[in-house]
Structure 1
């Protein structure tokens, strides 16, 4: 097989998976590790792929944050599984924060059997989901961000100093070992940074496509995060890279 033909097939394989490891490529094409690395180096220079720890993925050509509507229907099975797993950490009587986002929305859908919860949120869909419960619901004050259906806060409108949050469930658009969690919007990031500082335990709920991505605004390094909860499709090599951190990585089964 000509190198150019093999490289096209590598790109084709990457279109079917989030990440393919070097060992998988060696087995698929019966080639050496040196040949795989040469192919990946060339494809990266061409802008077709992005090399990651132990393998490669298609280059992310997205220039910004996907809409909430698109995210609500994307990877819905995985996000529901993450929501179920997160809900297992919530006890009756807890005071929790549920972030705005399509993944954390699925946490709210799993709480109807809980009792005496205090829920702080900046998510209008979360408020709508729980409005008919007897939970105490606190929505942070600020400006409505229409496309995200969220409230972005201003210090002069909402006093975070009075909050005593036991567990916060935060969204992220990017997660790496080196730089922690990141997101696209500065105002959302400011809220998340404050919530993390006010929380006894911090959970990041994000599907596996968010890993090995750094996006616009850094939220927090991993040493500020107690748990990362994602779906079982996360590549094993990526999962292994988080073992050297103090953050506990938890995979939710679909």
Structure 2
């Protein structure tokens, strides 16, 4: 097992149990205490867990600036974005959400023919300037922390859009509370996009699963597929698929991030 894969699994385990002894981790992952200490040191530096004598505890995340999150779990995000882009056909009209995972899609769309991208993400729009892709950015209020646009019907006529496929981000994904986000305004915009799109995909790395944040966007049964990475634990995969949720699990290709 690669170090990055083991560290993601350790993070998933600590998130699930909240507080874990180091010796428990050595037994669970069948590695030496020295290896676990190195993994824990890395995760602690990334402020994903907190160390204490003999153990660790999970740090509940809060939403940070998009620029600060761009390089978090980058291999996973790029792999998910590449899988999302592979679902896009020439001539389609798609929605790309504001988020660090969907943002990575732009590099894989440039060879598409007669593609229209609707987005509320300023970085996505800027990346596609000069390409042969038609870009429509929704009108509304700029959310500075996310470099995104949030909108309501009185600001933008969503009913005029004909979206084949929507690629939505999430801060939390669970069976009980569905897809959730930190921002009410972002959630409202996503709800509107989901309601008018023919097919809805959620792009969420494995760290977002079994977690609920402030605002529900929609139940999981309102999306067609969730695309995530290989570090998602098997019991979580089974938990979701047993409830009829379609998952697409992708492997990380480090070369794509260089």
The normalised TM-score by structure 2 is: 0.77
Task: Return the match for 1:93 from 68, 91, 94.
Answer: 91
Q: Taking structure 1 as reference, are residues 155 and 14 closer, same or farther at Cα in structure 2, changes over 3 Å only?
A: closer
Cα displacement string for residues 74-119 of structure 1 (whole angstroms, at most 9, x for unaligned residues): 0001100001111111000111000000000011121011111111
Measured on the aligned residues, the alpha-carbon RMSD in Å equals 2.4
Contact 2:9 2:231 in 1 (8 A): no
Q: Match of 1:202, SS? A: strand
Task: Return the match for 2:12 from 6, 10, 18.
Answer: 18
Match for residue 236 of structure 1? Answer: 234
Cα displacement string for residues 29-78 of structure 1 (whole angstroms, at most 9, x for unaligned residues): 7xxxxxxxxxxxxxxxxxx99xxxxxxx943433x312211210100011
Q: Match of 2:12, SS? A: coil
Q: Taking structure 1 as reference, are residues 124 and 26 closer, same or farther at Cα in structure 2, changes over 3 Å only?
A: closer
Larger Rg: 1
Question: Which stretches in structure 1 are left out of the alignment for 5+ residues?
Answer: 1-12, 30-47, 50-56
Match for residue 148 of structure 1? Answer: 146
Task: Return the match for 2:194 from 189, 193, 196.
Answer: 196
Q: Match of 1:245, SS? A: coil
Contact 1:95 1:120 in 2 (8 A): yes
Counterpart Cα distance in 2 of 1:204 and 1:153: 20
Q: Taking structure 1 as reference, are residues 158 and 230 closer, same or farther at Cα in structure 2, changes over 3 Å only?
A: same
- Is 2:58 the partner of 1:59? yes
Match for residue 28 of structure 1? Answer: 27
Task: Return the match for 1:221 from 197, 219, 222.
Answer: 219
Superposed, 1:57-206 pairs within 5 Å as 58-62=57-61, 64-206=62-204
Contact 2:64 2:145 in 1 (8 A): no
Question: Which stretches in structure 2 are left out of the alignment for 5+ residues?
Answer: 1-6, 18-22, 29-48, 51-55, 253-258
Following superposition, the deviation at residue 246 of structure 1 comes to: 2.9
Q: Match of 1:19, SS? A: helix
Match for residue 211 of structure 1? Answer: 209
Contact 2:10 2:25 in 1 (8 A): no
The normalised TM-score by structure 1 is: 0.79
Following superposition, the deviation at residue 191 of structure 1 comes to: 0.3
Give the ranges of 4+ consecutive aligned residues of structure 1 lying more than 6 Å apart after TM superposition.
none
